[in-house]
């Protein structure tokens, strides 16, 4: 009986630790679809840095990528494909 409780307690502890780690990992990655190039890009911290570089080259103020028009987003993806990592 004692072994069963200990085993059950260990499983519950593992689940309590694993669930938040798994959900945080998924929330950190956003997939963006590039219609013209027909591919996906992961929008993460690195992509945000590259996006800010793009804005700097164009002398534009920062504006959230999702709030940009479709044409502005298209311009960024075209630039991004000509500036790979």
Chain segment 6-17, per-residue pLDDT in tens: 666 665 556 566
**Which residues are paired to 33 by β-bridges?**
40
How many Å separate Cα 30 from the centre of its chain? Answer: 3
| pLDDT over 90 at 21, yes or no | no
Q: What are the E-state strand segments in the chain?
A: 30-34, 39-43
Residue range(s) defining the domain that contains residue 73? 2-82
Distance CA 15, CA 70 (A): 42
DSSP 67: G
pLDDT of 16: 62
Chain segment 31-84, per-residue pLDDT in tens: 999 989 999 999 999 999 999 999 999 999 999 999 999 999 999 999 999 998
pLDDT of 84: 86
Note whether 76 and 65 are within 8 A (CB). yes
> Pick from 43, 28, 44: which is nearest to 73 by CA?
43
Total domain count for the chain? 1
């Amino acid at each position: 009986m004692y072994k069963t409780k200990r085993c059950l307690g260990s499983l519950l502890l593992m689940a309590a630790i694993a669930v938040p780690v798994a959900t945080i990992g998924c929330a950190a990655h956003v997939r963006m679809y590039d219609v013209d190039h027909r591919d996906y890009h992961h929008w993460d911290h690195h992509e945000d840095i590259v996006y800010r570089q793009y804005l700097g080259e164009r002398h534009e103020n920062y504006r959230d990528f999702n709030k940009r028009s479709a044409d502005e987003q298209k311009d960024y993806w075209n630039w991004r494909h000509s500036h790979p990592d």
